[in-house]
């Protein structure tokens, strides 16, 4: 049976209805002006197609042309306020470009990850947008997929493929500097295992900072990158230890759990300061508001798209990098009431 329902209209049906050949119908519909067809004929075909509700079967077109009109957008997790912002942007961009976005979560380090990647590279699509999944980027480049189809990476600078990222250094320094100005030196770094395992910029700058001010770094490792896990870990920690002057959290997701844990343990925020990262919208609705770092999401997404478009012309060319700057945003979760806030930007 034909794909897409029993009585789907085909080009041949349109051609027969108008009384022209299949070729003429196709050329008219596809605006092939390199073929000589009279304007009235073109119009008759188009009108009839519209009247009959003809839509080309994308599958057949794809098989014939090698262009699927599908674009694979990969994020580590689909149900995550951080990544879903990127998804929403790309969804809109793809819609406008008349492409079908195949949105997939790559399960990053999960047990399904390998299986996922195998399936991914065999799925026919025209291009890939990878968000924050270095492992997947390595997988694709190893198999030279980026030489066959455009691939763009968003999140970090990755060798060999076009990438877009936001530089966090100044923003991280601003947070740590802000702690110093409030004379907070007893700072705990909160992250999940992954963030410690890889060479992590936030962690590294934290270590540098602690060294500089001559204090011993303390890491609190949360078993999983979720607010719930952060909450439990910090509750336990505060049951056994005195609170630090500040919790420097890997991201907002963790900071949200941390802040709640501090409060539920009977301490006040910002007496105990809590800082996050990522600029999740919900941070603005915490009480107090979460100090965080925001990135220019929309600009990053559009830059990624532009790279992808440009790449089509030149698959083998040298890879490009587009850099943005993240910015520190101070909220009540770190501001001591008796001090004037100091924003670096």
What is 111-132 written as a DSSP string? TTHHHHHHHHHHS--SEEEEES
Contact status, residue 149 vs residue 208, Cβ threshold 8 Å: no
Give me the sign of the Cα torsion angle 25, 28, 31, 32.
positive
Under the binding rule (CB under 8 A), the answer on residue 114 touching a second copy is no
Q: Which of 105, 131, 222, 307 binds a second copy (CB under 8 A)?
A: 105
Segment near a second copy (CB under 8 A), from 10-18, 179-187, 254-262, 318-326?
Answer: 254-262
Segment near DNA (CB under 7 A), from 58-66, 103-111, 269-277, 290-298?
Answer: 58-66
Contact status, residue 228 vs residue 253, Cβ threshold 8 Å: no
Among candidates 33, 53, 51, 54, which has minimal Cα distance to 42? 33
Least distance in Å: CB of 103 to a second copy?
A: 4
Q: Tell me the backbone φ, ψ of residue 152, rounded to 5 degrees.
A: -130, 140
Q: Which of 21, 287, 325, 344 binds a second copy (CB under 8 A)?
A: 287
Q: Which is nearer to DNA, 26 or 74 (CB)?
A: 26
Q: Which of 30, 38, 43, 112 binds a second copy (CB under 8 A)?
A: 112
Q: Which is nearer to DNA, 15 or 174 (CB)?
A: 15
Least distance in Å: CB of 126 to DNA?
A: 14
Q: Tell me the backbone φ, ψ of residue 344, rounded to 5 degrees.
A: -85, -25
Q: Which of 17, 46, 52, 56 binds DNA (CB under 7 A)?
A: 56
- The total number of residues written for the chain in this structure: 345
Burial class (CB in 10 A: 0-12, 13-18, 19+), 72: buried
Segment near a second copy (CB under 8 A), from 28-36, 58-66, 242-250, 310-318?
Answer: 58-66
Q: Which is nearer to a second copy, 88 or 343 (CB)?
A: 88
Under the binding rule (CB under 7 A), the answer on residue 50 touching DNA is no
Q: Which is nearer to DNA, 61 or 177 (CB)?
A: 61
Cis, bond preceding 63 (omega within 30 deg of 0): no
State the Cα–Cα distance between residues 207 and 189, nearest whole angstrom.
9
Under the binding rule (CB under 8 A), the answer on residue 148 touching a second copy is yes
Site string for DNA, 10-39 (x = CB under 7 A): xxx------xxxxxx-xx-xx-x--xxxx-
Q: Which is nearer to DNA, 18 or 172 (CB)?
A: 18
Under the binding rule (CB under 8 A), the answer on residue 265 touching a second copy is no
Among candidates 264, 241, 261, 271, which has minimal Cα distance to 333? 271
Q: Where are the beta strands (DSSP E) in 78-235?
A: 100-105, 127-131, 151-154, 162-167, 187-192, 218-222
Between strands 246-249 and 100-105, the pairing is unpaired
Among candidates 132, 285, 281, 145, which has minimal Cα distance to 195? 132
State the Cα–Cα distance between residues 116 and 130, nearest whole angstrom.
14
Tokens coding 143:
């198999």
DSSP state of 244: -
Segment near a second copy (CB under 8 A), from 2-10, 11-19, 207-215, 317-325?
Answer: 2-10
Q: Which is nearer to a second copy, 125 or 174 (CB)?
A: 125
Query: Which residues contact a second copy (rule: CB under 8 A)?
Result: 1-6, 55, 57-60, 62-63, 66-68, 77-81, 84-85, 87-88, 91, 95, 100-105, 112, 116, 122-124, 145, 148-149, 227-228, 231, 256-257, 259-260, 263, 281-282, 284-287
Query: Which residues contact DNA (rule: CB under 7 A)?
Result: 2-3, 8, 10-12, 19-24, 26-27, 29-30, 32, 35-38, 40-42, 54, 56-57, 60-61, 63-65
């Amino acid at each position: 049976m034909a794909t897409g329902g029993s009585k789907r209209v085909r080009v041949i049906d349109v051609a027969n209805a108008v009384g022209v050949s299949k070729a003429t119908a196709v050329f008219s519909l596809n605006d092939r002006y390199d073929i000589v067809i009279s304007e009235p004929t073109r119009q008759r075909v188009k009108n009839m197609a519209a009247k009959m509700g003809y839509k080309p079967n994308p599958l057949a077109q794809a098989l014939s042309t090698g262009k699927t009109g599908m674009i694979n957008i990969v994020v580590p997790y689909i149900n995550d306020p951080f990544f879903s912002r990127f998804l929403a942007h790309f969804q809109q961009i793809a819609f406008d470009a008349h492409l079908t976005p195949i949105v997939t979560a790559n399960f990053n380090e999960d047990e399904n990850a390998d299986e996922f990647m195998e399936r991914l590279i065999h799925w026919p699509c025209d291009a890939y947008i990878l968000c924050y999944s270095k492992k997947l980027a390595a997988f694709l480049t190893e198999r030279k997929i980026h030489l066959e189809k455009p691939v763009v990476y968003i999140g970090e600078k990755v060798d060999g493929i076009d990438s877009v990222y936001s530089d966090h250094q100044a923003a991280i320094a601003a947070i740590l500097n802000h702690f110093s100005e409030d004379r907070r030196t007893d700072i705990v770094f909160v992250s999940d295992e992954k963030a410690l395992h890889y060479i992590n910029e936030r962690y590294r700058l934290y270590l540098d900072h602690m060294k500089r001010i001559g204090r011993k770094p303390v890491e609190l490792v949360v078993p999983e990158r979720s607010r719930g896990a952060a909450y439990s870990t910090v509750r336990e920690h505060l049951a056994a230890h005195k609170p630090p002057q500040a919790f420097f959290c890997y991201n907002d997701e963790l900071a949200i759990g941390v802040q709640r844990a501090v409060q539920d343990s009977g301490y006040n925020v910002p007496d105990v300061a809590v800082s996050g990262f990522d600029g999740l919208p919900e941070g603005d609705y915490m009480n107090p508001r979460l100090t965080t770092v925001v990135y220019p999401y929309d600009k990053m997404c559009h830059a990624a798209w532009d790279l992808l478009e440009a790449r089509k012309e030149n698959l083998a060319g040298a890879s490009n990098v587009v850099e943005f700057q993240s910015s520190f945003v101070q909220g009540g979760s770190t501001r001591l009431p008796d001090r004037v806030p100091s924003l670096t930007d």
